[in-house]
A and B are shown apart, each in its own frame.
Chain A
Amino acid sequence: MSIVQLSGLKKYFDAVHAVDGVDLAIDQGEFLVILGPSGCGKTTLMRMIAGLEKPTAGQIHIGGDDVTDLPPRKRGVSMVFQSYALYPHMNVFNNIAFPLKAQRREKKFNKRIIREKVENTARLLEIDMLLDRRPRQLSGGQRQRVAIARAMVTQPAVLLLDEPLSNLDAKLRANARDELKDFQRSSNITAVFVTHDQIEAMGLGDRIVVMAEGKIQQIGTPQRIYDDPANEFVATFLGSPSMNILSSDGFRFGFRPEHFLPKTLHDSPENSRIFQYYVKRVEYLGSDRLVYGYIHGHDNDLTLAKVPSNVRVSLDIEGDYEFAVHNSDIKFFDTRSGQRIEAQNLAEAV
């Protein structure tokens, strides 16, 4: 059952169409990631769900109720900001207690209930020994937990997370990602997570919503988005290095660098497309070799190949080689619209 329902949602800032017609249903208990480059409208979309921005058009339903015109406190959502936005003059206990105190009259919380809830939530996030500290005395990881605790303590219907991992250093981030996912699973809360980081998106999301220019480009599981992109934007936005895109007569086609391998490595050359490949430069990246070069007949399009290091094929600079891509790994796109086109016969035309 969907807990959040967005229909025809738009937000215009004068001439800028930050969010330009979004329809989206978020399921109870799912971890939904909104992924897109900066300026794609993902944060604005989240702020509209939170109630911090008023939509120009469209409706927001949470738990079946139309909340489009309701202030944040009546929506049953909570939010973790990129900066964590901890109240610097309050200790951890009071930070976590703040939303409870703000709602104490409506929800009839007394001091004892508040203390209990704060302590329980703090224990859950393993910050119960930090309750007397001020935010500035905490590490980045601890601050993040305090922010999540504060967001969770009211048991919201939806937890909104705006790039909460991007302020952590790289080592902590993988760990925090894992913990966040565990925590979301065990508490079975609905989480909406905004990020521009595709690795975070792939790692965390039950489903990913890819956004660009205020519009949803594709919704799907991480694997679906990666293997079966709906258009050229999604195809090139996900994956590092990004998908090679080449032009042909009346259409464009692309394949991922890790699918573009020396012909000898393909077990069924008859189902593969073979290209003459000129190697310009090879980078050794430890687990892979990243090859820069050109396919004959596409001399203006730099084409990359990602060859696993354990493949002992020698690749010399300025050498010509036969590389191949499995037919099913080649995606076709309409030249004008960029939309994916399914056409088996096109494979012959490449």
Chain B
Amino acid sequence: MIARAHPFDSRRVVGALFLAPALLYIVLIVGLPFLLAIAFGFSDVTVGNTDLNFVGLQNYLAVWENDIFRQVFETTVRFTLISQIFILIFANILAIIFTQNFTGKWFARFIFILPWATPVSLAMIGWLWMLDTKYSPIDYLLLQTGFLGPNGILSSNRNLFWLATPDLSQISVIFVQVWRMTPLATVILMAGLSSIPTDILDQAEVDGSRFMRTLLQIKLPLILPIMVIALLFSMITMFGDMTVVYVLTRGGPVDYTRVLGLYSFQVGIEGGNLAQGAAISLFAFPLLLAMAILMLRTASRAEVR
């Protein structure tokens, strides 16, 4: 009998086979919709008329000249930047706390990761109640402690209208975003902190360095590349997110909390103008790409071995 190679003996066959599911996933879930969005963006497709007619940059020009879009874009950038600052501060503090030894650490970590582990829509419904215009428990507590009510310090009203005034609605959305994204950033930073060799930390201790010096001059510089990764993750997630505002405010009051993801959804799906919806969402793409490249390059340059 002549020995013959089984197809599975070939690296190429087996390799392709193992790669196929991942490839299929990326092509179907990421690649196709992305290409479709680009195609839509250059066409005049609507929900009513799905014929793809090429119209060049018409959609993009229309979007760019739209005042609402500009405001939405500005709001998105502002929300993202402000929340990143708080996320970084809180995530650093929490990561440092959670990498210390204390009793109940496991439980504290578990509780703390919950905001991130909870499905966004569920968590948002919870917040919708917390921030309710009339029945907000926060307002109730403030009322009981004398901060609200006829002689209240904050307001003579019985409610603060968390999601209904221009300022508070924006603050509320940013707060909820920070609440939701801090755990992921914290987990990433914790991984970074625990990857610092113990020898380095022992050395710093023998060298006479105390907590703050070790933190500022040893730990933080060493996890800087990882911090950039954490920032990148939460920035990209937040920039494209629509769930939080969709559930909490629908973009209101007026346009104060309308962000890019939501606006694209409202124009494209709810308004039926698929072409312009696609164009709106694609405006974010070059910006996010540039940001990702910039940050990853910074991270790799700062990488230390």
Which residues does A use to contact B, with CB under 8 Å?
Answer: 47, 50-52, 71-73, 77-79, 81-83, 85, 87-89, 98-99, 101-103, 134, 136, 150, 154
Contacts and interface: CB of A to CB of B under 8 A. Distances in A.
5 contacts: A73-B205, A73-B209, A73-B210, A78-B206, A101-B213
Interface string B185-223: 000000000000101101111111110010001100110
A73 B200 contact: no
B213 A102 contact: yes
B61 interface: no
A150 B304 contact: no
B210 A87 contact: no
Contacts of A103: 208
Contacts of A50: 202, 206
Contacts of B305: 88, 136
A85 B209 contact: no
A85 B218 contact: no
Given A79-B202, A83-B197, A89-B222, 17 more contacts: A72-B206, A73-B205, A73-B206, A73-B207, A73-B210, A78-B206, A79-B203, A81-B202, A87-B218, A88-B305, A89-B221, A89-B304, A98-B204, A102-B207, A102-B208, A102-B210, A134-B304
A72 B208 contact: yes
Mostly, the B contact residues are helix
A85 B205 CA distance: 12
Contacts of B304: 88-89, 134, 136
B196 to A, nearest CB: 10
A44 to B, nearest CB: 13
A52 B202 contact: yes
B222 A150 contact: no
Nearest to A79: B206
Contacts of A99: 207-209
Contacts of A71: 205
A87 B208 CA distance: 14
B206 A98 contact: no
B181 to A, nearest CB: 27
A73 B211 CA distance: 12
A87 B206 contact: no
A85 B202 contact: yes
Contacts of A85: 197, 199-200, 202-203
Contacts of B218: 87
B207 to A, nearest CB: 4
A134 B221 CA distance: 14
Interface of B: 197, 199-200, 202-210, 213, 217-218, 221-222, 304-305
A52 B206 contact: yes
A101 to B, nearest CB: 8
A81 B213 contact: no
B199 A83 contact: yes
Nearest to B222: A89
Contacts of A134: 304
A208 to B, nearest CB: 24
A340 to B, nearest CB: 38
A89 B305 CA distance: 9
A266 B203 CA distance: 54
B200 A87 contact: yes
Nearest to B221: A89
A88 B222 CA distance: 8
Given A85-B199, A88-B305, A52 B207 contact: no
Contacts of B203: 79, 81, 85, 87
A99 B206 CA distance: 8
Contact of A102 (B199, B200, B202, B209): B209
A73 B199 contact: no
Contacts of B204: 87, 98, 102
Contacts of A52: 202, 205-206
A52 to B, nearest CB: 5
B219 to A, nearest CB: 11
B117 to A, nearest CB: 33
Contacts of B210: 73, 102
B205 A150 contact: no
B298 to A, nearest CB: 14
Instruction: Determine which residue in B221, B222, B304, B305 has the highest number of CB atoms from chain A within 10 A of its CB, and name it.
Output: B304
Contacts of A150: 207
Contacts of B207: 73, 78, 98-99, 102, 150
Contact of A72 (B197, B199, B205, B213): B205
Nearest to B199: A85
A78 B205 CA distance: 10
Contacts of B222: 88-89
A150 B199 CA distance: 14
